[in-house]
Each structure stands twice: as structure tokens, then as C-alpha cells.
Amino acid sequence: MATTDGKLVSRRGLLRGSLALAALASLSGCTGTASDGGSSTPPAAGSAASEPATLSLGILEPVCIDPFNAVDEAGAQVAYQLFDPLTRYDFAAGELVYLAAESCAASEDRRTFTFVLREATFHDGTPVRSADFKRAWERIASPISAATQYHGASSAAYLLSLVEGYQALRGGSATGLSGVACPDDRTLAVTLSIPYADFPYVVANPCLAPVPPAAEEDAAAFAVHPVGNGPFSLAEAYSKGDTELELVAYDGYAGDAPRIAGARLAVYQTMSDSYQALEEGDLMASPCPVERVDTGAAAWRSDDPALELTRDRRCVLGCTPTVSMLVCNTAAAPLDNAGLRYAVSMAIDREDLARTVFRDARMAADGVVAPDIPGYRTGAWPYAVHDADAATQLLDTLYPRDSSGERDVHLTLSYSSGSGQDDAMEAIASDLEAVGITCDLDPVPYDALRNRLATGNFQLGRFDWTPGFMSMDNVLYPLFDSASIGSRNYARYSDEQVDALISEARGQVGEEVRIELLQQAEDIVAADCPVIPYLFGGFSFSGTQELESLPVDPLGYAHLAEAELAE
């Protein structure tokens, strides 16, 4: 077995200069000042003032706080505080590190991974054992687990799709994952159906954290009061409609003890409501709505490696791994023509879109791999640039204007109605019209859009992809591997060399070699342009001077265990 010690896979030698984060120099209505020493007065402490050791943070209403299906933004935020998975991606260091595991050994063929667990306990004091991971994963994958019967199918199940026995369990011909073994209480051995060297990245997802027997013995009770192994425990059960969740620092936590006694997660229906509570002094930290960010305030390519609220840095802006794109139906005319796809891509003014529609709270996308994912390269996609002249010249060749100055090219852009994308889609349609492409906007309900993408009943379709873990593979494989046609490869893109390079990368020992192979695959895809990336996701957090420090990572997780309150 080839053993990895200490920190796991590293991002050494990769570009980090485009790390998308910044302290905002000014925010419209945003609390306090930036680090330039302004004199704005912070809001009153509110309820937090009487409990100086407790941090207050605004969140939206969670859909699910059980890691079984904690995939919504708020639910994932809660699960992140309550549960520790085997590994975690350290954005500041740019590498994967151990968390619930203390070491991992991988077989030479990268099909078997043996994790040794650190000594730890759940919040009820019972030891965390390897069987608790096996239980957690099987309840997610099984169609008859108590959790599945209570919650419905887990959206996190796909994370386990490469584990041996997954299909049999999902299909009902097995009662467990044959690829997950527990030789002893502190050893978890995982065998995959194919080589996949990035598997340690997969198990960093909080949904794959361990759960005690109670999670299956009483799924309904666990759903409202999950018992985890993380730095905080839930003080009391949380049910839909409750206005807050109270977290208490867990004295028996196996890692570094939290620096605060606890946290109050106040629940709001909208981000604007949460931000208003911050302004009124009821919170110490809150997400900041896009409309409150001043145009031009974001210095996206800051070299500062820290995304952290402090007494002097009252707002932070981060780029998430999400990529917003227009999916081209490459299986049908006219977008089966690569030249037209190039023209559409070059017609879009991404920088203007980010600036005028999203008030600089989004970053113009230059590819599908976001800046914080290992393997990102600046300008990786040659056609993900604004060049209206080049687009016009190309269209003059493909679709010359007639005597009235019109081109015989007409596209329909479908997108989810009510998703806040109307202004963005109108801006893109205007960019296309400017180079002579007639573009009709087609807002449809979310479910209808997903159905059109799945069935191929569309021309251009707006789609967001957020990888489940920080790996290029989790961008390229679901979006462009031919095996993903019928799943998330909505463009119906197929290239034998791309498939071969992705497959070869999965079995490589060294991360640098894996990334090089995946970059070769990405170069082929970029040259074909089956999708048109236009923006990377973003978020902003605001805080008060009561915070000495609150790190926030590009996935939007507030690192409450590392937070410090001002004296």
C-alpha cells in the first residue's frame, strides 16, 4: 500500500493569484468600514452583548440539518458545525487535510483506501467507530433505510456511486455496501469499482460524516436533533418554523477546542432580512445581499490568502466553485456548429455582466474550473472572452447578413423563472443581438427547465454546476464525459480522447500528473465549447466590530470553531 502521511493531496505549484476574495472598500448600506481605518460606528451588540462568548450568525431556513441530505445552503452550514467527515479541504493552505481520519493508505491501483480514524466521540459521549461511517453511507445509498423512508432519497447519494456494491444496494439486491469494510473500530477500508485517486476529496463532503446508531433507530428524532462528532453540539431540537438554532461548544471534541462558547444561528426567510437584523444590531455576522454591494468595490484578484471577517475588515467577498453557464444542445442544429458556439461565447461581455447586473459580487468566468479548484488556469477557455469584432467576423462567414442587414440565425435561451436571473439573461440576449443573433428568452419553471435539459428539448439552457468536492474530475466528468450523457452532460458532448484522459487521470498516483491529464482533457473540451461559461459564483459576508475574527471559506462555510470575539 502507498501511504500518505499528515496532510493529503497538495496544490503545490498551482496558480492562486486569482483567489477570489477581498475586503470591500465600501458597501452600500453595509455595516462598518473596511481596513482603511474609516470611522463608521458599528451597530449595537443586541442580544449578543449580554453573552459575549456566544456568536450570532444569520442563516436562511434550513431544509435538512441531518447530514443525510444537508445539501441546501443553510442545512450544510449547520451540518458543517456539527459533523466532521474524514477529510477537509483547507483553502488557506490549498490542500486536503485529515479531520476525522488521522491517516490514509491507498492501494497502488487507487481502488482501495484504508482510513485510520482518530480517537473521537459523538456529542452523546459514545466513541466514533468505523461502523458509524459505514452506517452513515449505507443509509444515504439505501432505498429502504429509515432515513430514506423519512426524508426521501438523498441528494448526496451520488457521492458514493463509485463505491463497490453501490448499484446493488440502490437496486435492492444487497443490504449494504460491499466495498465498505470495518476490520476494527478505528479502521475503515473502502474499495471502489474503478480506480479513483481523488476519493479522499470525495469524503471531505460533510454529508459523508459518521452517525451513531440512533440515526437509524429513530430517523425522525435524529432529523431534528442530530448527534454529531464536530466542534459544536445542538442544544435542543430544531423544527421547521423555529427562529434559531443554538450551538454549544463540545467539550469532548477531538480537534482544537472552539474559541467561543457557542453560537446562535438566527433563521430568516431572506438574506435581506438577515442583513437588516445585522444593521439593527441583532447579529454579529450575516450574508450580504448582492444589491447591497457597491459597484466597483470588489478586487477579485487580491493576493490576500485570507477570507476573514475581523474588527477592521467588516466585509469579505468570495468566489465559490459554482460556474454559471449556457449549455449548448450540440446534438441539434444550429448549435451543432462549433463556429456558432464560439461566436455566442465571444459575444458575451462577462465583465460588464458581473459589474452591472451583479454589482461586482460575481466574477467573470474564463472556464468551467473555478479559481479555488486545484488545476484552475487563468484564461483556460480561449472563447470565454468578450470579442464582439471576432464574433461578428465569424458570423459574417457562417450567417452573412441579407439585404436588410439581418442574419438567418435564431436562438432560444431557456432559464429558470424566479431565479433572479432575468436581468442577466436580458443582458446576454442584448449582447447576442448586438452581433446579429436573434435571441428569444424563454423563462420556465425550474422543473420544466431540468426536464428540457434532460430530454434535449432546448437550444441554449442556463445551468449552474457546483462540484460536490474540490476536484477537476468532479467538474469534467459529470459535465463532459460521454458516460454522463443522460445525467448532467446536458450538452450531449462526446469525445473519446476526453473520456480516455479522464479515465487515465483517475488511476494516477501523483496529483500533478492527474491534474496535467485533466487539463489536457479540459483543453479539448474548451476548444469544442459545448457549454459557454460566463460567471463564477460569489458571496459576501458582513460583520460587526464584536468579531475579532471569523474565517469564511469559498464554499460559504463560516468556521465558527476558529472564530474569536473582540474583548
pLDDT value, residue 57: 98
- pLDDT confidence band for 304 (50 / 70 / 90): low
pLDDT digits (tens, 9 = 90+) for 389-418: 999 999 999 999 999 999 999 999 999 998
- 454546476: which residue's cell? 465
Domain boundaries, the chain: 2-13+46-268, 318-538
Contacting residues for 315 by C-beta, under 8 A, at least 6 apart? 23, 24, 27, 30, 31, 32, 34, 288, 309, 540, 541, 542, 543
The closest of 318, 344, 326 to 540, measured between CA atoms, is 318
pLDDT of residue 294: 54
Q: How far is Cα 169 from Cα 171, in angstroms, rounded to an integer?
A: 5
Q: How many Å apart are CA 544 and CA 280, to the nearest integer?
A: 11
pLDDT digits (tens, 9 = 90+) for 8-18: 433 222 222 22
313: confidence class by pLDDT, cuts 50, 70, 90: confident
Does pLDDT of 139 surpass 60? yes
Q: Rounded to an integer, what distance in angstroms lies between the CA atom of residue 145 and that of residue 54?
A: 37
Classify residue 344 as left (phi > 0), alpha (psi -120 to 50) or beta.
alpha
Q: Which CATH superfamily hosts domain 2-13+46-268? A: Periplasmic binding protein-like II (3.40.190.10)
Tens digits of residue pLDDT in 416-460: 998 788 999 999 999 999 999 999 999 999 999 999 999 999 999
Query: Which pLDDT value is given to residue 128?
Result: 98
Q: For the ranges 119-128, 343-352, 549-558, which has the lowest average pLDDT?
A: 549-558
Return the number of other C-beta atoms located less than 10 Å from residue 451's C-beta: 13
- In this prediction, residue 289 carries a pLDDT of 85
**Can you say how many angstroms the Cα of residue 415 is from the centroid of all Cα atoms in its chain?**
20
Name residue, grid cell 462540484.
467
Listed in sequence order, the residues at least 6 apart from 447 whose beta carbon sits closer than 8 Å to its beta carbon are none
Model confidence over 197-253: pLDDT tens digits? 999 999 999 999 999 999 999 999 999 999 999 999 999 999 999 999 999 999 999
The yes-or-no verdict on residue 279 having pLDDT over 70 is: yes
- Which cell goes with 113? 483506501
By C-alpha distance, which of 470, 448, 469 is closest to 458? 448
Residue 471 has pLDDT above 70, yes or no: yes
Q: pTM, whole model, 2 decimals?
A: 0.84
- Does 318-538 carry CATH code 1.10.8.60? no
Q: Helices then strands (H, E): number in the chain?
A: 16, 22
3-state SS class at 209: coil
- Tell me the pLDDT band of 27, cut-offs 50, 70 and 90: very low
Residue range 75-107, pLDDT digits in tens: 999 999 999 999 999 988 889 999 999 999 999
Q: Can you give the C-alpha Rg of the chain in angstroms? A: 24
Question: Identity (one letter) of the amino acid at 61?
Answer: E
Q: Read off the pLDDT band of 290 (50, 70, 90).
A: confident
Return d(Cα 341, Cα 337) in angstroms, integer. Answer: 7
**526 neighbors 383 (Cβ within 8 angstroms):** yes
Exposure string of 285-305, with b = 16+ CB inside 10 Å and e = fewer, is bbbbbbebbbeebbbbebeee
Q: Are 2-13+46-268 and 318-538 in the same CATH fold?
A: no
* DSSP label of 119: P
**Measuring CA to CA, which residue among 564, 514, 552 is closest to residue 91?**
552
